Structure 1
Amino acid sequence: MLLGMICALASSVCFGAASVLQAVAARAAPPGTGSGVDVALLWRAVRQWRYLAGLGLDGLGFVLQIVALRTLPIYVVGAALAASLAVTAVLSSRVLRVRLSRVEWTAVAVVCAGLALLALASGPEGHRAGPDALGWGLLATAFGVLLVGAAGGRLPQRPRALVLGLGAGVGFGVVEVAVRLIDGPDPTDPALYALLLGGGSAFVLLTSALQRGAVTTATAGMVIGETIGPALVGVAWLGDRTRDGWTWAALLGFAVALAGSLTLARFGEAPEPAPEGGGAEAPEGERGGGSGRT
């Protein structure tokens, strides 16, 4: 379990650092059709070295995430991944010269405290395979992420950011559960296709959200989508449990880590260049550090 926790936290660091790079690259990419979801945006973004570097960190983080999911309950790994916002906040304060308020530094400490409590309370990873329909349910959910993206692109700016972020979070949540279900490269396993479709769709939605709309709102939606659902699936169907008598601590740690992450959701926003003369402030929802994949 110690190795799993180390991998989960290292994965969080990778995703948090990638967030800063990807947000800046997505904002610098040439504008497209003006739709809420622009598939070609991903291609335009990957032409920039920052986005490619972010993808490299995402790849490393994903490998570490797989190791963590094979040894820890999903709710622990999910909370650790949501805590990547704390990593993004700290890196933004150092690298991008973004100032953290006292409330935000407190939120970072709260996230760390919640994760520590979760680590103490978590039991061994469950070993149930889940019902046969679970893999097909994941695949259907992955297709649903595509539909959410298509519908979200037609919404006004504020709800569009929330819907796209929530859809991306659900897609990343599909990946978390699918990793637990896949035993090997079986071409007949629906969980394998759910992983590929869910992860790919989530990246497209998230990249669009990073460039358009209030990405602060999108990041909060993403944290909720990728954390709560997979945790419930792990407990209900995959046998994830806590240590005897520590259920209250796991619930408290999960809630505390999630609350702290949502407090830091403003770091889903790419930093805007300061206007010449330094007089005008960036509009509401356009301040803060960078973010992307958690």
Structure 2
Amino acid sequence: MVFALASACCFGTASVLQAVAARAVETGSASGVAPMLLLRVLRQWRFAAGLALDGLGFLLQVVALRSLPLYAVGASLASSLAVTAIVAVWLLDTRVSVAEWTAVATVCAGLAMIALASGVQGQHFGPAALHWSLPGVALVVLLTGAAAGRLADRLRALLLGLGAGVGFGVVEVAVRLIGTLEVPRIFGDPALYGLLLGGAAGFLLLTSALQRGSVTVATAGMVLGETAGPAVVGILWLGDRPRSGLEWLAAAGFVAAVVGALALTRFGNVAAEVSGD
């Protein structure tokens, strides 16, 4: 759980830096997703710093995913928005209302309940169909994001954010499913390609959402996509279970953490509050 929370701290801080950088570049394309956008934002030092934090956060996330149920890790990652809110106050002098501080406290309380109720992690291997489905889901996410440019702004932002969340959810499930890191056996596991494609799709769609539309709406979609899907997969196919008799506490904690995170989605749009960057 410590590694999961440390990962959330990295992701939450990175989102502040990346939001500022993504809004500092021109779109350069009328499509919903612009692959060249990544090359432009990489020239921004804030984006590069955020990317480094994302890399560290991913390594910490991998450790957590190998030890905790997916629902626990997903809720912990959703708490990155609470970290974003705190970092925005510290770095950008953003004001946080009483209601938003209450949401931060709700996220923390939800995580505490999950930590108390989390049981032993289920199996790692999963059914073969689940391994093979991950690259397909990631590809659908990427194609759906590419078609989002034809939609209205608000719906486009929601679709890009939800797609990014699903892509990151694919990464969570894939990390759990990959049974060995031995070469060349790992290259025969389709979950590896699901991880690579899901990560790329999620990162591209999220970057496009940060730059193109309502980041608040996009962030809400991302939170839902990266928490609900993996939690369901873990419970239905991988045997993740809370401690006996504490199922209600785990469910309440999960709902509290996600709802609190959704209440803080405006902090995905902190770049709009910065002038001259």
Answer yes or no: same fold by TM over 0.5. yes
Structure 2 residue 47 is matched with structure 1 residue 51 = yes
Contact 2:124/2:176 (8 A) holds in 1: no
The aligned amino acid for 1:24 is V
Q: 1:274 and 1:68 mapped to 2: Cα distance?
A: 34
Contact 1:110/1:256 (8 A) holds in 2: yes
Contact 1:135/1:191 (8 A) holds in 2: yes
Contact 2:124/2:177 (8 A) holds in 1: no
Structure 2 residue aligned with 1:217: 217
Q: Secondary structure at the match of 1:254?
A: helix
Structure 1 residue aligned with 2:61: 65
| Consecutive unaligned residues in structure 2, runs of 5 or more | none
Kindly state the Cα deviation for residue 31 of structure 1 after the two structures are TM-superposed: 2.4
Structure 1 residue aligned with 2:4: 8
Pick closer, same or farther for the CA change 1:46–1:70 going to 2, 3 Å: same
Kindly state the Cα deviation for residue 188 of structure 1 after the two structures are TM-superposed: 1.6
**After TM superposition, what 4+ stretches of structure 1 lie above 6 angstroms from structure 2?**
none
Please list the CA deviations of residues 16-67 of structure 1 after superposition, one character each: whole Å capped at 9, or x if unmatched. 0000000000000232113221110011001111111001000000000000
Mean Cα deviation higher: 150-159 or 75-84 = 150-159
Q: Once superposed, what is the RMSD of the aligned Cα atoms? A: 1.3
Q: Secondary structure at the match of 1:239?
A: coil
Structure 1 residue aligned with 2:228: 228
Structure 2 residue aligned with 1:169: 165
Pick closer, same or farther for the CA change 1:167–1:62 going to 2, 3 Å: same
Percent identity between matched residues is 64
Structure 1 residue aligned with 2:188: 188
Structure 2 residue 93 is matched with structure 1 residue 97 = yes
Contact 2:125/2:179 (8 A) holds in 1: no
Kindly state the Cα deviation for residue 272 of structure 1 after the two structures are TM-superposed: 2.6
Structure 2 residue aligned with 1:284: none
Q: Secondary structure at the match of 1:75?
A: helix
Structure 2 residue aligned with 1:152: 148
Q: Secondary structure at the match of 1:187?
A: helix
What TM-score, normalized by structure 1, do the two folds share?
A: 0.90
Q: Secondary structure at the match of 1:272?
A: helix
| Consecutive unaligned residues in structure 1, runs of 5 or more | 277-294
Q: 2:22 aligns with which of 20, 26, 33?
A: 26
Please list the CA deviations of residues 167-226 of structure 1 after superposition, one character each: whole Å capped at 9, or x if unmatched. 000000000000001123411211000000000011110000000110100000000000
Mean Cα deviation higher: 34-43 or 56-65 = 34-43
Structure 2 residue aligned with 1:264: 264
Q: 1:63 and 1:274 mapped to 2: Cα distance?
A: 30
Contact 1:18/1:54 (8 A) holds in 2: yes
Contact 1:27/1:270 (8 A) holds in 2: no
Kindly state the Cα deviation for residue 275 of structure 1 after the two structures are TM-superposed: 7.4
Structure 1 residue aligned with 2:204: 204
Q: Secondary structure at the match of 2:272?
A: coil
Contact 2:117/2:250 (8 A) holds in 1: yes
Q: Secondary structure at the match of 1:163?
A: helix
Mean Cα deviation higher: 211-220 or 180-189 = 180-189
Structure with greater helix percent = 2
